[in-house]
Amino acid sequence: MQYNLGVVGLGHWFGWLERGVGEKGGLKLVKAVGTKPFEEKIELLSGFGITKDKYYISGPDGRIPERFFEGLDLVQISDPNRFHKEQAMESLKKGKRVVVEKTLAVNEKELEEIKSFVKRNSMENMIYLHLHYLHKQPTLALANEMPKLVAEYGKIKSVEANFFEPINNEDPRRVWLLAPENGGIFMDWVHASEVIFRTTGCSFGRIMQMRDFAVNNSYDNVNPTGVEGVVGVSGSNYEQGAVATMRMAKGTEKTYANKSLKVIFKSGFSAFLCFPGHEAEFNNANERGMLKILDADGKEVSSERLSGPNSSEMFVSEVLDFCRGKHARLNLDEISEIFKSQWEYQRTAGTRKLITDRESVDAFLKDGVNGRYCK
């Protein structure tokens, strides 16, 4: 069976979805909503057979035109984050299954509102949050290996996650991501927390330490473009008192580009994940990332270069299952767990001085690549 898909937002993440749809089949993109005239998107849209009468302009508040919903089975939302909650609820009210990119809401109050709406209307099987690193091969590999690793090396005593994104040509038109109403730089916390949650099966505790950095002033000279947090973590795989250190940054120099996770066990042995950049993953069948095991001295015990479908293909396969009635990978309570630290960070926003001196910023970046094994 083929499912008719309509997309709201033709930016960054639509590009990756488009690749998976084209490769997998089963979904047919038939309508789109954007903010710019059809003529400015004609090359992209015509490639999918979308004519001007199937393209709609959203309102300034993100409101989706009524006619857009006609004939659709699924709506994918990748507009600016501040519109996600209302657009998702609007789509659900129209009886459509909904895939939302990265976040259902930009603050805890909004998340609780959409959760309440979904549960009150028994729509849990109608909404799917797409967290981009859940489908990547390193995440899947470590989640599969974790029971064996804990049995062999002891429970987890600490975790370190680093998600540093280099300067990107697309970023100048995505600066809205850094605005507080869209969640700010800390919305990228979800990348680290989703991987830790999926691979280790944890609960997140309180933030124990938090620092905000001005990594790239050309992106934003007011709001943080880098953050470092230390958070308590617990669960059956963890030692008591375990912590997770998570660092995020946007607009770094290429030498600092790094997306990795290190899980340290009681014995001192550790598991190390290396995630390839999106361009590398989608353009090179050999780039799926790595899983390494290191001994207590940091010496490599084993190394596996991962293979398999890229994350876009995995995502589209899961979306097809979702359209057929299978529950989404994450339920609403799991989503709340992953975003718990995000909301705590927001509650304390403005209470910390933005760290701007170059020596401190460079030290933060170096901490994020220290001991990196992505070679």
Q: What are the extents of the domains in the chain?
A: 3-130, 137-309+338-369
SS3 315: helix
Say if domain 3-130 classifies as CATH 3.40.50.720.
yes
pLDDT in tens, the chain (375 residues): 889 999 999 866 666 666 666 555 688 889 999 988 999 989 888 877 889 999 999 998 899 999 999 999 999 999 888 999 999 999 999 999 999 999 999 999 999 999 999 999 999 999 999 998 999 999 999 999 999 999 999 999 999 999 998 887 666 555 666 666 667 776 778 999 999 999 999 999 999 999 999 998 888 878 889 999 999 999 999 999 999 999 999 889 988 989 999 999 999 999 999 999 887 888 888 999 999 999 999 999 999 999 999 998 888 889 999 999 998 889 999 999 999 999 998 888 778 899 999 999 999 999 998 766 565
Q: Report the sign of the C-alpha dihedral through residues 277, 247, 186, 178, in that order.
A: negative
Residue 163 forms beta bridges with which residues? Answer: 248, 259
The candidate with the shortest Cα–Cα distance to 309, out of 17, 16, 20, is 20
Tell me the pairing of strands 238-252 and 156-166: parallel
The answer to whether 3-130 and 137-309+338-369 have equal CATH topology is: no
- How far from chain centre, in Å, is Cα 146? 21
Half-sphere exposure of 189 (CA within 13 A, CB side): 29
What would be the CATH architecture of the domain defined by 137-309+338-369? 2-Layer Sandwich (3.30)
How far apart CA 164 and CA 254 sit, in angstroms, is: 9
pLDDT value at position 187?
Answer: 74
Longest dimension (CA), the chain: 63
How far apart CA 353 and CA 366 sit, in angstroms, is: 21
The candidate with the shortest Cα–Cα distance to 44, out of 32, 26, 53, is 32
Q: 58, 79 in Cβ contact below 8 A? A: yes
Token code pair at residue 135: 């489908």
The burial class, CB within 10 Å (0-12 / 13-18 / 19+), for 299 is exposed
pLDDT value at position 80?
Answer: 86
How far apart CA 228 and CA 207 sit, in angstroms, is: 11
SS3 350: coil
pTM for the structure as a whole: 0.93
